[in-house]
C-alpha cells in the first residue's frame, strides 16, 4: 500500500538546483517534499567543478541571474552550518592573440556596464596574477567576483537546511507519475513507495527534465551535453585563479553537437588541479573519449607549460542539461497549471542555483520577483515544437 503525504510543493531533483528550490521555498513558509531517483548531487551536480561565474556570461538575462546568485552564494557561505568550501578565487580569461584580445575587451566593457567588476590585465602584467602562465599571450581580464564551492557539499548543506525547516526528503525513489486533475491541474506525484499530493510540482530533474515534463503532459527540449574533467596529482598552488581561454565563452554559446574543447584550468585548496573543458551532445552515452581527454590535456599545457610533467590521477564526466537558447527554464508552465520548472542551466547550474531557488519561491508565494522571469519562460520553445 502506498504511503500518502500532502505538502505545498514537490521538488523533483536533489541536485544543487532542486536543493536551492527546497531551501528557499521552506524559508518562505511552504511545506516541501524533495524526491530523487538517486542520491543528493548524484547527477550533474556531482560531476561539476563548483564554478560560480560571471565572467563567461555576456550582458543579458543569464548574467543578471549570475549576479544575483553570486550575492546569494556569499550569504549562504556565511549562513550554512559547517560550510560549503566557498572560495572567492576570482577568474582570469586570457586572449591568445590581438583578435581575441579585442573581442575580450569589448565583452568585458559590456559586462562592466552591467555591474560586473572586470579589470583588464596587459600581457606584461599577467605574471603578477598567474606566474606560471605561458608567455606570448595578448592579455587577460581579471574577474574578482568569480568564485567556487564544493558542489556536492553545497547541495547537501542546502538540503539539510531545508530539512531542518521542515522539508521531507525521499531518495532512491523515481517519480513514475505526475498526478494531474481532470481539469488539467497538477495534483502531486507518485513513486513506487508513496503518493505525494501537492498543488505544485517543481521540475528540477537536470538532464532528465524533459522526461518529467512529458510525465506532466507537456514538452521541454532539455538535452544532455557530455563533458569531462581531468584531476591531477596534488600540487603546490601553481594555478591561483580559475583560468580559461577566451574561446571557452564561444564554446559554451555554441549550438554544435560535435566535440568542442577549450582550456579551463584551476587549482583547488586540496592541491589537485582541475582541467576542462569539453562539450559534446551524445545522448546519455558514457563512453570515454580519449580524443577529448587528449585535447583537454594538450590545451591545458599550452596555457600552463608547468603541467606538462604532472600526472593525471583520475577522470570524471557528467551531462549538462542543455536548452537550445542556452537559458534555463524557470517558473510556472502555463500549459500545465501548478507545474514549475527549474532546469536547463547547462554547465552553470551550480552558479545559478540560489537565484533560481529564490525566484521559484517568490513565484510560488506571489512575491514580486527579484528578476524578470519572462526570458526564462518554460513555454518559449512551444512554437518551435509545433513547427518541427
In order along its 388 residues, the chain shows pLDDT tens digits of 689 999 999 999 999 999 999 999 999 999 999 999 999 999 999 888 889 999 999 999 999 999 999 999 999 999 998 889 999 999 999 999 999 999 999 999 999 999 999 999 999 999 999 999 999 999 999 999 999 999 999 999 999 999 999 999 999 999 999 999 999 999 999 999 999 999 999 999 999 999 999 999 999 999 999 999 999 999 998 999 999 998 877 666 556 667 888 889 999 888 999 998 888 888 888 888 889 999 999 999 999 999 999 999 999 888 999 999 999 999 999 999 999 999 999 999 999 999 999 999 999 999 999 999 999 999 999 865 444 4
Longest dimension (CA), the chain: 71
Q: Which fold has domain 3-50+151-222+325-387?
A: FAD/NAD(P)-binding domain (3.50.50)
pLDDT of residue 387: 41
The C-alpha cell that represents 196 in the structure block: 505525494
Q: Which of 177, 165, 171, 166 is closest to 201 using CA atoms?
A: 177
Helix axes 349-365, 16-27, angle to 10 degrees: 30
Residue in the block written with cell 557528467:
318
> In angstroms, what CA-CA distances link 312 with 3, 230, 277, 296?
48, 7, 15, 12
The pTM of this model reads: 0.94
Q: Quickly list H helices, the chain.
A: 16-27, 61-79, 98-113, 126-129, 151-164, 209-215, 247-253, 290-303, 349-365, 382-387
> In angstroms, what CA-CA distances link 28 with 25, 31, 317?
5, 9, 35
pLDDT of residue 385: 46
DSSP characters for 204-267?
Answer: --GGGHHHHHHHTT-----EEEEEEEEEEPP-SS---SEEEETHHHHHHH----S-EEEEEEEE
pLDDT of residue 276: 85
Q: Which of 80, 82, 77, 87 is closest to 27 using CA atoms?
A: 80
Q: Classify residue 32 by its DSSP letter.
A: E
Q: Among the CATH numbers 3.20.20.370, 3.30.9.10, 3.40.47.10, 3.40.50.300, which is that of 91-144+223-322?
A: 3.30.9.10
Q: Which of 194, 190, 206, 187 is closest to 9 using CA atoms?
A: 187
Q: Where in the chain is the domain with CATH 3.30.9.10?
A: 91-144+223-322
CA–CA gap between residue 139 and residue 241 (Å, rounded):
15
Q: Where in the chain is the domain with CATH 3.50.50.60?
A: 3-50+151-222+325-387
CA–CA gap between residue 377 and residue 388 (Å, rounded):
19
Edge-to-edge order in the sheet of strand 273-279: 119-122, 139-143, 91-95, 242-245, 260-267, 273-279, 223-232, 312-322
CB 259 within 8 A of CB 280: yes
Amino acid at each position: 500500500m502506498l504511503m500518502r503525504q500532502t505538502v505545498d510543493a514537490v521538488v523533483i531533483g536533489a541536485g544543487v538546483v532542486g536543493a536551492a528550490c527546497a531551501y528557499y521555498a521552506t524559508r518562505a513558509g511552504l511545506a516541501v517534499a524533495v524526491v530523487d531517483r538517486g542520491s543528493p548531487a548524484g547527477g550533474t551536480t556531482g560531476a561539476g567543478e563548483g564554478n560560480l561565474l560571471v565572467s563567461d556570461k555576456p550582458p543579458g538575462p543569464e548574467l543578471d541571474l549570475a549576479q544575483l546568485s553570486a550575492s546569494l552564494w556569499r550569504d549562504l557561505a556565511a549562513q550554512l552550518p559547517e560550510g560549503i568550501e566557498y572560495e572567492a578565487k576570482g577568474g582570469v580569461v586570457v586572449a591568445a592573440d590581438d583578435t581575441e584580445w579585442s573581442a575580450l575587451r569589448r565583452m568585458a566593457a559590456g559586462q562592466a556596464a552591467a555591474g560586473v567588476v572586470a579589470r583588464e590585465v596587459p600581457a606584461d602584467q599577467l605574471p603578477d596574477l598567474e606566474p606560471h602562465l605561458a608567455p606570448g599571450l595578448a592579455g587577460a581580464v581579471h574577474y574578482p567576483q568569480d568564485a567556487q564551492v564544493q558542489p556536492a557539499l553545497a547541495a547537501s548543506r542546502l538540503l539539510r537546511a531545508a530539512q531542518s525547516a521542515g522539508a521531507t526528503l525521499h531518495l532512491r525513489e523515481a517519480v513514475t507519475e505526475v498526478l494531474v486533475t481532470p481539469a488539467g491541474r497538477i495534483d502531486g506525484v507518485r513513486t513506487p513507495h508513496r503518493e505525494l499530493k501537492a498543488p505544485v510540482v517543481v521540475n528540477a530533474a537536470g538532464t532528465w527534465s524533459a522526461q518529467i515534463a512529458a510525465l506532466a503532459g507537456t514538452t521541454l527540449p532539455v538535452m544532455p551535453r557530455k563533458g569531462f574533467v581531468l584531476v591531477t596529482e596534488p600540487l603546490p598552488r601553481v594555478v591561483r585563479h580559475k583560468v580559461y581561454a577566451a574561446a571557452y565563452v564561444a564554446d559554451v554559446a555554441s549550438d554544435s553537437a560535435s566535440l568542442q574543447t577549450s582550456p579551463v584550468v584551476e587549482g583547488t585548496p586540496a592541491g589537485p588541479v582541475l582541467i576542462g573543458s569539453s562539450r559534446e551532445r551524445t545522448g546519455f552515452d558514457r563512453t570515454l573519449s580519449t580524443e577529448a581527454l587528449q585535447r583537454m590535456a594538450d590545451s591545458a599545457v599550452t596555457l600552463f607549460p608547468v603541467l606538462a610533467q604532472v600526472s593525471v590521477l583520475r577522470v570524471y564526466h557528467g551531462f549538462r542539461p542543455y536548452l537550445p537558447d542556452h537559458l534555463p527554464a524557470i517558473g510556472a508552465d502555463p500549459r500545465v497549471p501548478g507545474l514549475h520548472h527549474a532546469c536547463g542551466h547547462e554547465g552553470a547550474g551550480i552558479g545559478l542555483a540560489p537565484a533560481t531557488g529564490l525566484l521559484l519561491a517568490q513565484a510560488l508565494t506571489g512575491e514580486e520577483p527579484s528578476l524578470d522571469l519572462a526570458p526564462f519562460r518554460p513555454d518559449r520553445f512551444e512554437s518551435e515544437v509545433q513547427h518541427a
